[in-house]
Each structure stands twice: as C-alpha cells, then as structure tokens.
Structure 1
Amino acid sequence: MNRGQSFLLLLIGSVAILTLYVINPFVEYVIASAILAYVLYPFHVRLSRRFRRSLAGRVRRSLANRLGNMLSALLLILSAIVAVILPLAYISWVFVRDLTEIARGNTDIDVAAIEGEIASLTGEQVEVGEVLATAGQVLANTLFGGVGGIVTTAIRASVGLSLALFLVYYTLLDGPAFVRWLRLTSPLPSNVTADLVDRVDAMTRGVVIGHIVVALLQALVAGLGLWAVGIPNVVFWTFVMAVLALVPLVGAFFVWGPAAAYLVAIDEVAAGVFLAVYGVLVIAMVDNYARPIVIDQQAHLNPAVILLGVFGGIYAIGFTGLFVGPIVIGVLAATLETFREDYDVI
C-alpha cells in the first residue's frame, strides 16, 4: 500500500467517525427509516409502475419515470403516517401515561385482592403494589431515562420522526441506486457480495416479518382479550406482551395467564375463564399458525437470539431498539454465514 492509498484510507476512516458522531443523536431513526423503506419498497415498485403507465404519452418518458417514483413515494409515506405513525403515536402516548402512573404507584389493579390471595396460598405477605411500581420505574428508566426524561424523549422523537420521513422518501427514490453502488464499491468478489446481499435481505425479511410482525399481531390479539374482560392499563400490558411474544408459544402467556388468574382472584370467575379459553384457542393459535406461514425459511434465527436483540436494542437506543436490535443481530448472522461458506472456514 503506497502513501496515497494510506492517506485516503485514513481520511475515509476519519470522515466515517465524524459522520457517526454527527448522526449519533438520531441513529435509531436513521435505521428505522431504512427498515420502513425496506418494508414499503415492494409496494413502491408496483405503485410507481402504475403511475408511470398513467403518465405515459402525456409527458416525456424520463419525466414520467421521475414523477411516477415521486408520487408513489409520497403516497406511501402519507399512507404510513395514517395507518402506522398516527396510531403508534396515540398508543405511545397512552403507554407513557400508564407507565408513569404505575411508576408512581398508581394503578387500577385491585392490589389488595392479589395480596390477599397470595397470602392465603403461601402464608407470605407480598407488597404487589411496590413490585409493580419498581417494575414501572425500571422500564421508564430503560426507555426514557426516568419519568422526568419523557418530555425530552417526546421532543427528540418528534424531530427524529420528521427526519425519518424525509429519509424514507429519498430511500424509496434512491435505494436501488445505493444498493448498486454498494455492490460496485464492495472490495469482495462479485459472487460473494451478491451472496451477502441476498442473505442480509432474507435475514432482514425473516426478522421483520416473521418474528416482529407476528409478535405485534399476537400482542394486539391478546390486548383485545384483556380489554374485553376489563383488565386495566391495557396498552401498557399489550406493549409488554409485544416484547414477550417474541418467545414462541409461552411469551404472551406470562401476561394473559396471570391476568386470567387475577380475574378469578377478584371473584370475576366468568371473565377469567373466558380470558383463559380465549388465550388457548385464539392467542396461542396466532403463534402456532401465523409464525410458520410468514417466516421466510431462509432466515433461521433462534428465538432466543431475537429476544436478546429486542432487550439489548431497547436498552441501548430506546423504543426503536425493539425493531433495530434483532435486525442488527440478523445482519451479523448473515455476514458470518457468508464468511463461513464463501471462504471455507471450518
């Protein structure tokens, strides 16, 4: 390596470090925008093709292509705002409100009935209210840096969300060109680069659709059951189930199972039995049938690894880490698998 190449590599490394430093406050939103654009891109391809066809003959072909891509990207972003971002913002607000109340020791759960039932069964007096408050404080500290950091997090999230929408727009427009540039710039042989890109694509699709979407679907179905039987703080417990549901078969049970027992403990036996039956016949079936259908068979990731990515991501960068963490680990797994197979590493 000559002096010029050494200087260029040093310059690239220095600028890369400075770039990471600049985007670090919003790195989770940058990654989240890439994930959202990745999910929306197949729809963008079909929609932009329709727009181009409708504009063909009215304007020049090159202009029709640009307008078709722009209109498709704008329409998809507006659809994402209405279908995803606004509902998620409302759910987040309710979740933060419930979490704040729980962390302060205020909850609509009949704590006295639970403590009395535990005392009658074990002979021990357990302060359930203090346990819930401590758990709420730990969760608030992990997600927002404490109850006092919620306002700061909300302001930062608003700015980050605006940035993410702009990034999604330009990623939809220029994403394919960026992937082509990566393929051409990669120092790896073309066949290894193609193999790596295919593996990362399959792994990301399997993680996002096969694990996270199924977990969110199962949590929503379970949340409807909790709401139907009158469990308080439904949004809070639905969020907890969304994380736990990443563990197949038994994840969400750790919430709806105790909830059914709680209803029986406070003499609402019919509601408790209904929730238990609903959990076995409906909630569990979502996991048993939906997960094998939607998981890409090329993306083999152990659920324990997914769960580690979820908790690590949440702890590292907050709520967005729920999605970012598993994908980062999935990309690492795809890279290691490519290295093992293409370079004959035993």
Structure 2
Amino acid sequence: MNRGQSFLLLLIGSVALLTLFVIRPFIEYVIASAILAYVLFPFHVRLSRGLQEGLSNRFRESLARQLGYMLSALFLIVSSIVAVILPLAYISWVFVRDLTEIARGNSDIDVEAIETELAALTGEQIEVGEVLTTVGQVLANTLFGGLGGIVTTALRASVGLSLALFLVYYTLLDGPAFVRWLRQTSPLPADVTSDLVDRVDAMTRGVVIGHIVVALLQALVAGLGLWAAGIPNVVFWTFVMAVLALVPLVGAFFVWGPAAAYLVAIDQVTAGVFLAIYGVLVIAMVDNYARPIVIDQQAHLNPAVILLGVFGGIYSIGFTGLFVGPIVIGVLAATLETFREDYDLI
C-alpha cells in the first residue's frame, strides 16, 4: 500500500467517524427508515411496474419509469403514515400517558384487592402498588431517561420521523443502486459477497417478519382480549406483551395469565375465565401456528438471542431498538455463518 492509498484510507475513516458523530442523535431513525424501506421495497417494485405501464402511453419510456418510481414511493410513504405512523403515534401517546400515571403511583388497577388476595394466600402483606410504581419508573428511565425526558423525546421523535420519511423515499428510489454499489465495492470475491448479501437478506426478513411481526400480532390479539375482559391500561400492557411475545409459547402469558387471575381476585370470575380460555385457545395458537408459517426457514435465530437483541436495543437507542437490536445480531450471525462456510476457518 503506497502513501496515497494510506492517506485515502485514513481520510475515509476520519470522514466516516465524523459522519457518524453528526447523525448520531438520529441514528435510530436512520436505521428505522432503512428497515421500513426494506419492508416496503417488494411492494414498491410491483406498484412502480404497474404505474410505468400505465404512464408509458403518455410519456417517454425513461420519463415513465422515473415517474413510476416517484409516484410509487410517495404513495407507499403516505400509506405508511396512515396505516402505521399515525396509529403508532396514538398508541405511543396512550402508552406514555399510562406509564406516567403508573410511575407516579396512579393506576386503575384495584391494588387493594390484589394485596388482600396475596395476604390471604401467603400470610404476608405485599405492597403491590409500590412494585407497580417501581416498574413504571424503571421503564420510564430506560425508554425516555425519566419522566422529565418524555417531552424532549417527543420533540426529538417528531423531527426524527420527518427525517425518516424523507430517507424512506430516497431509499426506495436509490436503494437498489446502493446495493449494487456495495456488491461492486466489496473487497470480497463476488461469490462470497453474493452469499453474504443473501444471508443478511434472509436473516433480516426472518427477524422482521418471522419474529417481530408475529410478536406484534400476538400482542394485538392479546390486547384485544384484555380490552374485552375489562383490564385497565390495555395499551400499556399490550406494549409489554409485544416485547415478551418475542419469547415463544410463554412470553405474552406473563401478562394475560396474571390478568385472568386478577379478574378472579376482584370477583369478576366470568371475565377471568373468559380471558384464560381466550388466552389458551386464541393467543397461544397465534404463536404456535403463525410463527412457523411466516418465519423464513433460512433464518434460524434462537428466541433468547432475539430477546437479548430487543432489550439491548431498547436500552441502547430507545423504542426503535425493538427492531434494530435483533437485526444487528441477525446480521452478525449471517456474517459469521458466511465466514465459516466460505473460508472454512471456524
């Protein structure tokens, strides 16, 4: 390596570190935009082709292709705002409201009834209200840096979401060109690069669709059951189940199981029995049947690894870490697997 190449590599490294420093405050939104664009891209391909065919009769082929890409990207972004971002914003607002109340010791849960039942069973007085307050404070500190950081987080999220939408638009337009550039720039042999890209794609698809989407689906189904049974703070507990549901079979049970027992404890036996039956026949079945159907068989990650990525991601970068953490670990696993098979060293 000559002096010119060494200087150029040093310059690239320095500028890369400076770039990371500049975008660090919004790094989670940058990554989230990449994930959303990844999910939307198959729809973008189909929609843009249809639009190009419709516009080819009125415009030149090159212009029709460009307009098709642009209109498809805009349509998918607007659809994402209506179908994903607005509902997620409302759910986040309700979650933050309920979490704030719980952290301050205010909850619609009949704490006295629970404490009375526990005292009758154990012979000791357990302060359930203090436990709930502590849990709420820990969650608030982990997600927002404390109750005082909620407003700051909300303002930052507004700017971050606006940035993410612009990034999604340009990623949909230029994403394929960027992937081609990565393939051409990679110092690895072409076959190894292709194998690595395919493994990362399969792993990412398996994590996002196979694990996270199923967990969110199971949490929504479970949340519907909690709402029908009359459990308070449904949105808060649905969010908790979305995280716990990443552990197959038992995750969401840690919420709906105690919720059914809580209903029985406050003399709402019918609702408690309904929730228990609903949990066994409906909530558990979502995990048993949906997960094997949607998980890509090429993407095998231990559920414990997924859960570690979820909690580590949330603790490191906030809410979007729910998606980012497992994907980062999945990409690491794909890279190690490629290294093992193509170089036969580990």
Q: Per the shorter chain, which TM-score range?
A: over 0.9
RMSD of aligned Cα (Å): 0.4
> Counterpart in 2 of 1:115?
115
Query: 1:282: Cα distance to partner?
Result: 0.1
Partners in 2 of 1:332 and 1:126 — Cα distance?
44
**What does 1:248-259 align with in structure 2 at a 5 Å threshold?**
248-259=248-259
Partners in 2 of 1:69 and 1:260 — Cα distance?
50
Partners in 1 of 2:69 and 2:16 — Cα distance?
30
Q: TM-score, normalised by structure 1?
A: 1.00
**What does 1:14-53 align with in structure 2 at a 5 Å threshold?**
14-53=14-53
Partners in 1 of 2:9 and 2:169 — Cα distance?
31
Partners in 2 of 1:124 and 1:213 — Cα distance?
41
Partners in 2 of 1:43 and 1:115 — Cα distance?
52
The answer to whether 1:172 aligns with 2:172 is yes
Secondary structure of 1:310's partner? helix
Secondary structure of 2:11's partner? helix
Partners in 2 of 1:56 and 1:161 — Cα distance?
34
Query: 1:86: Cα distance to partner?
Result: 0.2
Partners in 1 of 2:108 and 2:57 — Cα distance?
63
The answer to whether 1:63 aligns with 2:63 is yes
**What does 1:38-187 align with in structure 2 at a 5 Å threshold?**
38-187=38-187
Partners in 1 of 2:29 and 2:193 — Cα distance?
27
> Counterpart in 1 of 2:302?
302
Secondary structure of 1:249's partner? coil
Partners in 2 of 1:59 and 1:108 — Cα distance?
61
> Counterpart in 2 of 1:269?
269
> Counterpart in 1 of 2:287?
287
Partners in 2 of 1:166 and 1:250 — Cα distance?
39
Query: 1:33: Cα distance to partner?
Result: 0.2
Query: 1:154: Cα distance to partner?
Result: 0.1
Partners in 1 of 2:54 and 2:73 — Cα distance?
16
Q: TM-score, normalised by structure 2?
A: 1.00
Partners in 1 of 2:142 and 2:323 — Cα distance?
16
Q: Which amino acid aligns with 1:9?
A: L
The Cα offsets for residues 172-229 of structure 1, whole Å up to 9 and x where unpaired, read as 0000000000000000000000000000000000000000000000000000000001
**What does 1:238-257 align with in structure 2 at a 5 Å threshold?**
238-257=238-257
Q: Which amino acid aligns with 1:244?
A: L
Q: Which amino acid aligns with 2:338?
A: T
The answer to whether 1:205 aligns with 2:205 is yes
Q: Which amino acid aligns with 1:37?
A: A
Partners in 2 of 1:185 and 1:58 — Cα distance?
38
Q: Which amino acid aligns with 2:107?
A: T
Secondary structure of 1:108's partner? coil
Q: Percent identity?
A: 88
Query: 1:345: Cα distance to partner?
Result: 1.2
Query: 1:124: Cα distance to partner?
Result: 1.1
Query: 1:91: Cα distance to partner?
Result: 0.3
Query: 1:57: Cα distance to partner?
Result: 2.2
The Cα offsets for residues 296-345 of structure 1, whole Å up to 9 and x where unpaired, read as 00000000000000000000000010011000100011011101111111
Query: 1:125: Cα distance to partner?
Result: 0.7
Q: Which amino acid aligns with 1:217?
A: L
The Cα offsets for residues 268-314 of structure 1, whole Å up to 9 and x where unpaired, read as 00000000000000000000000000000000000000000000000
Partners in 2 of 1:59 and 1:52 — Cα distance?
9
Partners in 1 of 2:200 and 2:242 — Cα distance?
24
Partners in 1 of 2:124 and 2:217 — Cα distance?
38
Partners in 2 of 1:29 and 1:13 — Cα distance?
23
Give ranges in structure 2 of 5+ residues lacking alignment: none
Secondary structure of 1:147's partner? coil
> Counterpart in 1 of 2:222?
222
Partners in 2 of 1:319 and 1:233 — Cα distance?
19
- The structure 1 segments of at least 4 consecutive aligned residues displaced by more than 6 Å after TM superposition are none
Q: Which amino acid aligns with 2:74?
A: L
Partners in 2 of 1:229 and 1:9 — Cα distance?
62
